Amino acid sequence: MPITTTRRRLLAGSAAALALPAFARAQGAVKPRLTVISQWSAGSDGAAITALGKKFEEKGGVWQHSPVPGFTTEMMNKLRAQIIAGDPPACSQLKGPEIAAWSKIAPTVDLDAAVAAAGYEKVVAPDLAKLHKPAGKWIALPLQIYSTNMLFLSKRAMDKAKADKPPVTWADFNALAEKMKSAGMTYPLANGGTRPDDGQKFEASFAGISPTAYRAAIMNLDKKALEGPEIKAAFAQTRKIADWCDPNVGAQPYATNLKRFVDGDMGMLIMGGWAQGVLKNAGFKFDDYVIVPGPSDNGKPVFLLNADAFIFWQRKEADLQAGQMLMAQLVMDPTIQTMYSQITGSIPVRTDVDLSGEGWSDGQRTTAAALKNAVGNNQAVLSLAHNMAQENGLTAAMIDVITEYVKNKSIKPEQAVSRLADAVEGAR
Amino acid sequence: MQHGVISGDGSLRMRDRGFAPSRALIYLVVTLFAAAYLAPLVVVVLNSLRTDEEIAQSSMIGWPQHLAWGNYALAWSGFCVAETCAGIRPYMLNSALITIPATIFSTLLGAVAGYAVSLWRFRGDVWVYGIVTLGLFLPQQMRLLPWTIVLRDIGLINTLTGLVLIHTIQGLSFTVLFCRNYYIAIPHELIRAARVDGAGFFRIFWRIILPLSSPILIVTVIWQFTHIWNEFLYGVTFTTGQQQPVTAALIALSAAVADIPHHGVQSAAVIIAALPTLLIYLFGGRYFVRGLTAGAVK
Amino acid sequence: MTDVVSTATRPGQSATSEMLRRLPEFLMIWVPLLLSAAHLVTFSIWTIWISFTPSTLVPVTGWVGLRNYTAVLASRNWQIAFDNLLLFGTAFVLFSLVTGLLLAILLDQRIRGENVLRTIFLYPLAVSFVVTGTVWSWLLNPGIGIEKLVHDLGWITFKFDWLVDRDMAIWTIVIAAIWQSSGFAMALFLAGLRSVDADIIKAAQIDGAGPVRTYWRVVLPTLWPITITVVVVQLQFAISAFDLVRALTNGGPGIATQLPALVVYDLMFQRSQLGRGAAAAVLMLLILLAVLLPYAAWRYLRRRQSAHA
């Protein structure tokens, strides 16, 4: 029996009645408020989240950001303490597989409706999206993407070494490094000595040699790949890279070498796009350096993904819930993503943002093109050094092996391979 | 043969005339040590007066080319921790609000407990005293999560009061140890006589013990103040945002991986943050040693 | 041991009113002491319990037997940390003892400027561990610190790169730690030196001993109890040294300067492996007990001796 007009009107009426509370919420019946925890208290990260906060307040919200000084561990400590205390922040920084792990200890907000309304899922790389919907529902939203294996080349150093072509394969890279050395640069590579930095040296080598082997070994923990020839070659390449770094850097971050890099005393830097934000904040110009995708032996760019995200914890308060919705909308908004990425040097998560306009650097354009290319060729993999490929415990165990290998020249690649396999077994 | 001379207080001293070489040797060694001990302070003070660029251009150790007093201004009220650009000043206040009450409470309670344990024996006191002093050796990481649970259950998480509570209870381990070792030396006759005269526990404490306690109280106050002021782990975990103690602000200033190091401003901030404790040791150092001399060591 | 002061009721008072009268003192004595003792005992038991559970991000119930312990003991991190603790602990305690004693003896010589010097040796105690670690990490870094300074001054073959040398990095921690805490040892020794009985020294002088011999034969032996105290305090510092090491080397280069306190923090909070972190913490406690129990036994025996003497 067809639906009569009265019933239709009844249906329409009840639908409207149901929609009214949501409508009222959206109209700001409650002033949205957001409590946020992150580690971003300084530098370009601090500036970016502060700018995001201003936008939040422009839309009528109350922004309560608590940066936790220190690194991610301190932030996680604070988050854990808050969760145990039964008082999680409405929104916190979290990323990678940790999102899945932490979502098991406290209830999160189901963002599927908001994501669908914004059509966000269509414009996010599938590998990335998976990390943020661990049980099939969106509970976190990625905000910015970095590649951890971009190659920064100092213009002055390239001139000194009389090199004009950026290297494409690892063989090219090695040749260029040797050239720079003979041009007088004792240490052609400006990388630092922190744990993530050492991890980056390794993962850039491994993924550049074979993204398929990297995916199998590091992301899927496949036993055969963990003992194969590619990983051994990766360690050998890492040794070469380590030898080209200044041993005096100790455990200092790469930032201490930036001046020498720009001046031409060091020529290359394997780093993520955030270095661009750091360089900009330190007063250096885009003209001082060139960014190209990291070396890849098959000629096509390999993209080691690192993406920050915000996770939303369930709260009963209406104003916090409104704040969460507002924050979700902002994070998915292309203008906000543009603003954020332009401050930090990352690229937006949305694949539909046009980077040809003002405010974007060539490096960012290169990175975005590399991402598109890599996704198309299935060469976009998750970074180990930045906790995207595995959970923190396993990652730390693997980085233990890698950083020891980098700092101890007497460890052979074969030994490193077996130690890494042991570490994976031990931390399982 | 060298002859020493006994001075009035029983210490040994080389005679000044005729044995100048040994004396000179003493002065030389002491000066070398003093230089080594002063070096880090000097470096930081000098760096606090150099601009960040200057430090980046040369080494961490150098003489300032111009006196960058601006570093201090920035450190005191200018530098930004995310949204708030108020420098280190608000955090200093927080640290004071945590440290002063906790020091006072843990000292007072420790004195009373030490007095009780040493002069008024009661059942089980040895055991309790033993456990309390064993607390000096319990690592702080083991206490972090349990304290979270406790603070949650009594509703004091993210409050300065919660931190004061933690530091008071933890400080008892030290204050009871020191006070008890000090009070042990007080003659029991004194107490007995007072009791005979009709004085009770607190009267004796107020009239007799407390006036005698200044050496050890100074030691305890100095020690507690220093430890609580300089504490980082609990300070960061159990406070948020604007309530954090000054140690957190220092970390925020230096843990910037996403940033060129700002060693000049950082050094100025370090000096400002360390001033209270430095001044305490500057003016109270003599009393500190005196207090330790007065029998704290057993 | 006899009661110092009788706590018996005074004649003519009823038991209840006596108790009420003594309530405030019970409260002020017992409440803090019990709180302190209770929190220590419960936290320790809690940690021991957690070490037997499969806790990762947050504490959970469950039982995994000794698996956490075997995992920790088998990890390179812990093995290196344990070896480092032995090395660092011994070196640090020994050198800070010697340094403290030397400084105390020097200061005891009635030299001019004693007040200033005492302050100079004491002020490092006022500095937080994090600042100490950070400042020394600047000074000892060959690229920006002392080595660079000496190079700039002309002596370009000078090397002082212990901080980035895997084998020598642990000694940088020893240096920074001694700088920080030998002032306390000095203060204790100075206190001890100043309280040596003048008559004993006079007697030695009459016997014809010179200052050096007097120190060696007469004064130093009386410092034995203080020395033990200093050793215990410094050992406690060595075992739980955390902020300092984190700021100075962060366990590096690589994992060459790992120490148990760092491993505990790392496992518990960085790697979100609470169960394993708790196991490592309990192991740390056992190490501490291995040091403390002999000390406590020694004190007990001494007391028994002096009671019988």
Give the full edge-to-edge strand order of the sheet including A289-293.
A268-271, A150-154, A289-293
- β-partners of residue A270 are A151
Stretch among A80-89, B101-110, C288-297 having the lowest mean pLDDT: C288-297
pLDDT in the model for residue B155: 86
CA-based radius of gyration for chain C: 25
Distance from CA of A244 to the nearest CA of B (A): 22
Question: Is A382 in a helix, a strand, or coil?
Answer: strand
Q: Residue B205: closest CA among chain C residues belongs to which residue?
A: C25
CATH of the domain at A287: 3.40.190.10
Dihedral in degrees, nearest 10, Cα atoms C216, C220, C221, C222:
140
Q: Which chains touch A (3 or more CB pairs under 8 A)?
A: B, C
**Is A179:A350 a contact under the CB 8 Å cutoff?**
no
pLDDT in the model for residue A238: 95
Task: Say if the Cβ atoms of A101 and C144 lie within 8 Å.
Answer: no
Same-domain status, A170 and A242? yes
- Tell me the pLDDT tens digit for each residue of B190-213: 888 888 888 777 888 888 888 888
Same-domain status, A103 and A178? no
Element (H, E) at C186: helix C169-194
What type of residue is C112? R
Same-domain status, A206 and A325? no
Q: Sorting pLDDT into bands at 50, 70 and 90, what band is B260?
A: low
Establish if C232 touches chain B: CB-CB under 8 angstroms.
no
Distance from CA of C235 to the nearest CA of A (A): 27
**CB < 8 Å to A42, chain B:** 80-82, 252-253, 255-256, 258-259
pLDDT-flagged residues of chain A (< 50): 1-5, 10-25
**CB < 8 Å to B140, chain A:** none
Task: Say if the Cβ atoms of B81 and A69 lie within 8 Å.
Answer: yes
Same-domain status, A326 and A274? no
Which residues, in sequence order, are CB contacts of B83 under 8 Å at separation 6+? A50, A53, A63, A65
pLDDT in the model for residue C309: 55
Give the other-Cβ count within 10 Å of B149's Cβ: 15
Structural domain that includes position A320: 30-144+308-348
d(CA C79, CA A404): 14
Using the Cα atoms of residue A383, residue A387, residue A392 and residue A398 in order, give the sign of their dihedral.
positive
**Would you say residue A418 lies in a domain?**
yes
Establish if C54 touches chain A: CB-CB under 8 angstroms.
no
Same-domain status, A292 and A387? yes
Establish if C61 touches chain A: CB-CB under 8 angstroms.
no
Task: Say if the Cβ atoms of B81 and A67 lie within 8 Å.
Answer: yes
Q: Which of A248, A250, A403 sits opposite C255 (nearest CB)?
A: A403
Same-domain status, A226 and A139? no
- Tell me the pLDDT tens digit for each residue of C210-249: 777 777 777 777 788 788 878 878 887 887 778 889 888 8
Establish if B206 touches chain C: CB-CB under 8 angstroms.
no
SS3 content of chain C, % helix, strand, coil (to 5): 75, 0, 25
**CB < 8 Å to A82, chain C:** none
Q: ipTM for the complex?
A: 0.83
pLDDT in the model for residue C13: 57
DSSP letters for A339-362: HHHHHHT-EES-TT---SSTT--H
Which residues, in sequence order, are CB contacts of A14 under 8 Å at separation 6+? none
Establish if B241 touches chain A: CB-CB under 8 angstroms.
yes
Task: Kindly report the length of chain C.
Answer: 309
Give the other-Cβ count within 10 Å of B177's Cβ: 21
Stretch among A247-256, A412-421, C117-126, C279-288 having the lowest mean pLDDT: A247-256
d(CA A361, CA A355): 9
Q: Sorting pLDDT into bands at 50, 70 and 90, what band is B257?
A: low
More confident residue, C19 or B91: B91
Q: Is the pLDDT of residue C1 over 70?
A: no
Same-domain status, A336 and A385? no
Task: Say if the Cβ atoms of C264 and B121 lie within 8 Å.
Answer: no
User: Quick one: B144 exposed, middle or buried, by C-beta within 10 A (0-12, 13-18, 19+)?
Assistant: buried
d(CA B164, CA B168): 6
**CA distances from residue A10 to A7, A18, A24 in whole angstroms, order as listed:** 5, 12, 21
| pTM metric for this prediction | 0.84
pLDDT in the model for residue A112: 93
**Would you say residue A211 lies in a domain?**
yes
CA-based radius of gyration for chain A: 23
**CB < 8 Å to B150, chain C:** 39
What's the DSSP call for residue B243?
G
The C-alpha angle with vertex C61 and arms to C58 and C66, in degrees rounded to 5, equals 100
Q: Is the pLDDT of residue C2 over 50?
A: no
What's the DSSP call for residue B239?
-
> At residue B197, what are phi and psi to the nearest 5 degrees?
-70, -5
Closest CA to B86 of B289, B220, B207, B244: B244
How far from the centroid of its chain's Cα atoms is residue A128's Cα? Answer: 10
Task: Say if the Cβ atoms of A42 and B259 lie within 8 Å.
Answer: yes
Pairing state between β A33-38 and A91-94? parallel
Which residues, in sequence order, are CB contacts of C94 under 8 Å at separation 6+? none
Most distant CA pair in chain C, distance:
88
Q: Residue B81: closest CA among chain A residues belongs to which residue?
A: A41
Tokens of B213: 């306690």
Q: A16-30, A201-215, C107-121, C130-144 — which one is most confidently predicted on average? A: A201-215
Same-domain status, A126 and A272? no
d(CA B96, CA B88): 13
**Would you say residue A406 lies in a domain?**
yes
Establish if C264 touches chain B: CB-CB under 8 angstroms.
yes
pLDDT in the model for residue B41: 93
Establish if C164 touches chain A: CB-CB under 8 angstroms.
yes
**Would you say residue A1 lies in a domain?**
no
Distance from CA of B85 to the nearest CA of C (A): 22
Q: What is the 3-state secondary structure (H, E, C) of A308-330?
A: EEEEEECCCCHHHHHHHHHHHHH
pLDDT in the model for residue B296: 46
Interface test with B, best of C29, C44, C200 (most B CBs within 10 A): C29
Q: Which of A252, A396, A406 sits opposite C271 (nearest CB)?
A: A396
Q: Residue A103: closest CA among chain C residues belongs to which residue?
A: C57
Q: Residue A344: closest CA among chain B residues belongs to which residue?
A: B258
How many domains would you assign to chain A?
2
Establish if C181 touches chain A: CB-CB under 8 angstroms.
no
- Tell me the pLDDT tens digit for each residue of A97-147: 999 999 999 999 999 999 999 899 888 888 888 899 998 999 999 999 999
**Is A180:A192 a contact under the CB 8 Å cutoff?**
no
Establish if B172 touches chain C: CB-CB under 8 angstroms.
yes
d(CA A93, CA A264): 36
Establish if C134 touches chain A: CB-CB under 8 angstroms.
no
What type of residue is C45? I
Establish if B45 touches chain C: CB-CB under 8 angstroms.
no
**CB < 8 Å to B268, chain C:** none
Same-domain status, A49 and A104? yes
What's the DSSP call for residue A294?
P
Q: Residue A274: closest CA among chain B residues belongs to which residue?
A: B258
Write down which residue in A296, A317, A348 finishes a domain: A348
DSSP letters for A115-181: HHHHT-GGGS-HHHHHHH-TTSS--EEEEEEEETTEEEEEHHHHHHTT--S---SHHHHHHHHHHHH
Q: Which of A45, A66, A258 sits opposite B241 (nearest CB)?
A: A66
Task: Say if the Cβ atoms of C122 and B288 lie within 8 Å.
Answer: yes
User: Quick one: C94 exposed, middle or buried, by C-beta within 10 A (0-12, 13-18, 19+)?
Assistant: middle
Tokens of C288: 């501490």
- CATH architecture of structural domain B89-293: Orthogonal Bundle (1.10)
Stretch among A170-174, B45-49, B184-188 having the lowest mean pLDDT: B184-188
Task: Say if the Cβ atoms of A246 and C77 lie within 8 Å.
Answer: no
Q: A4-18, C16-30, C244-258 — which one is most confidently predicted on average? A: C244-258
First to last CA, chain B: 36
Establish if C166 touches chain A: CB-CB under 8 angstroms.
yes
Segments in chain B forming alpha helices (H): 20-48, 52-57, 70-73, 89-119, 125-134, 141-153, 160-183, 188-196, 201-204, 210-212, 214-229, 233-237, 246-254, 263-293
Distance from CA of B266 to the nearest CA of A (A): 13
What type of residue is C115? N
Pairing state between β A380-382 and A303-312? parallel
Q: Is the pLDDT of residue B19 over 80?
A: no
User: Quick one: A37 exposed, middle or buried, by C-beta within 10 A (0-12, 13-18, 19+)?
Assistant: buried
Q: Is the pLDDT of residue B2 over 50?
A: no
Q: Residue A419: closest CA among chain C residues belongs to which residue?
A: C76
Which residues, in sequence order, are CB contacts of C4 under 8 Å at separation 6+? B118, B119, B120, B121, B188, B191
Instruction: Give residues 182 to 201 of A whose Cβ lies within 8 Å of B.
Output: 194
What's the DSSP call for residue A267?
-
Same-domain status, A80 and A113? yes
**Would you say residue A13 lies in a domain?**
no
pLDDT in the model for residue C213: 74
Q: Is the pLDDT of residue C285 over 90?
A: no
**CB < 8 Å to B43, chain C:** 135, 138-139
Q: Is the pLDDT of residue B229 over 90?
A: yes
- β-partners of residue A347 are A145
Task: Say if the Cβ atoms of A255 and B259 lie within 8 Å.
Answer: yes
More confident residue, A108 or C24: A108
Q: Which of B26, B33, B44 sits opposite C111 (nearest CB)?
A: B26
Residue indicated by tokens 């003093």: B34
pLDDT in the model for residue A71: 77
Q: Which of B57, B145, B236 sits opposite A74 (nearest CB)?
A: B236
Establish if B140 touches chain C: CB-CB under 8 angstroms.
yes
Residue indicated by tokens 């008892």: B172
Task: Say if the Cβ atoms of C118 and B285 lie within 8 Å.
Answer: yes
Same-domain status, A317 and A338? yes
**CB < 8 Å to C137, chain A:** 250
**CB < 8 Å to C122, chain B:** 281, 285, 288-289
Q: Which of B56, B149, B260 sits opposite A278 (nearest CB)?
A: B260
Establish if B17 touches chain C: CB-CB under 8 angstroms.
no
Q: Which chains touch B (3 or more CB pairs under 8 A)?
A: A, C
Q: Which chains touch C (3 or more CB pairs under 8 A)?
A: A, B
Q: Which of B82, B145, B158 sits opposite A41 (nearest CB)?
A: B82
Average pLDDT in chain C: 84
**Would you say residue A23 lies in a domain?**
no
Q: Which of C128, C201, C264 sits opposite B139 (nearest CB)?
A: C264
Same-domain status, A89 and A128? yes
- Domains of chain C (ranges plus CATH)? 76-308 (1.10.3720.10)
